[in-house]
Every structure is written in structure tokens, then in C-alpha cells.
Amino acid sequence: MRARDIAEEYPVVNLDADALDAARLLVGHQLPGIVVTDTSGRPHSVLPGSQVLGFMIPSYIQDDPSLARVYDEAHADRVAARLAGRKVREVLPSRPTELPAVDPDATVIEVAALMARLRCPLVAVVENERVSGVITTTHLLDLILPRP
């Protein structure tokens, strides 16, 4: 089994994609993060769900739990609205999370070794500078764990 055989097709988004759409894709596919490409389709970074939250929640609230506590439902709506009209590139931090990549011929052990070393929940399969699929840790474990 090689990376190309086990990769799953998930939507990728580019830097100019709508951030709210990107967040909804992440939720809809129950992904740990969504793969981001540059505007010419080359792999760029990964946008984890916690980073989307990091953009939505102002940093003065992140840093002060007691302030977060007094936020009521109305504020929750305002937090959600922060994503509206934003592009993915605006939501990415200044130093985006690097996208771990393997080539389609990578063995299962190679993919597992990369995930283990980087402690990352997904890797992209990249061929000719294009993302051809994604392998998540849970999918890989599902493949290599012995059957009950």
C-alpha cells in the first residue's frame, strides 16, 4: 500500500477562498484541518479548526478566561460574525501551520513515521505540485491496526 492508494479526496481551499466556506468544509468533513493551496493551486499550509477559533475570538478574550466567562449569547453571535467576508489568507496566522506532504509512492510506514515525528493529524499527498489527496491519522490507524 502506497500513499496514493490510501489518500482520501477532501476539498482543498485556496488563499482567496471564503473563510466561512472553508470553516464549514472542515466541519462538514469532520477534518482536523483543511488543506490550503496558493492561488495557483500549489500546497501552502493547513488551517486547523483551532486556528479558525483563534481568529474568531479576540486575543484579549483568549488571554483572560474571566472575560470569556461574562460573554453572553449576543457576543457569541458577534464572534461568529468575525469570519464573514474574510478570506482564508486573513484567517491564517502570520506563520501558518506547515502542511506536511508525502509523494504518492510513500509507503504506509513512511506516512506514519512523518505523522508520528511531527505529531500532526493529517498529511497531504502531493504530485506535480498539486494536492491529490489527504491522509488523516485516524484513517491511517484504521488501515494498520490489526482487526479484532
Q: Does residue 26 interact with a second copy by CB under 8 A?
A: yes
Which residue stretch of 4-12, 39-47, 112-120, 125-133 sits at the interface with a second copy (rule: CB under 8 A)?
A: 112-120
Q: b vs e for 78-90, b when ≥16 Cβ sit within 10 Å of the residue's Cβ?
A: eeeeebeebebbe
Nearest CB to a second copy, comparing residues 128 and 148: 148
Distance CA 96, CA 36 (A): 10
Nearest CB to a second copy, comparing residues 15 and 79: 79
Nearest CB to a second copy, comparing residues 41 and 142: 142
Q: Does residue 110 interact with a second copy by CB under 8 A?
A: yes
Nearest CB to a second copy, comparing residues 15 and 114: 114
- Nearest-approach distance from CB 14 to a second copy, in angstroms: 20
Cβ proximity of 79 and 56 under 8 Å: yes
Count of residues in the chain: 148
Distance CA 101, CA 45 (A): 10
Q: Which of residues 31-60 bind a second copy (CB under 8 A)?
A: 31-32, 48-54, 56-57
Q: Does residue 83 interact with a second copy by CB under 8 A?
A: yes
What is the biggest distance separating any 2 CA atoms in the chain, rounded to whole angstroms?
52
DSSP 18-81: BHHHHHHHHHHTT-SEEEEE-TTS-EEEEEEHHHHHHHHS-HHHHT-HHHHHH--HHHHHHHHH
Q: Does residue 131 interact with a second copy by CB under 8 A?
A: no
Instruction: Indicate the helix (H) or strand (E) that contains 118.
Output: helix 108-118
Which residues lie near a second copy (CB under 8 A)? Answer: 1, 20, 23-24, 26-27, 30-32, 48-54, 56-57, 61-63, 65, 68-69, 71-73, 75-77, 79-81, 83-84, 106-110, 112-121, 137-138, 140-142, 144-146, 148
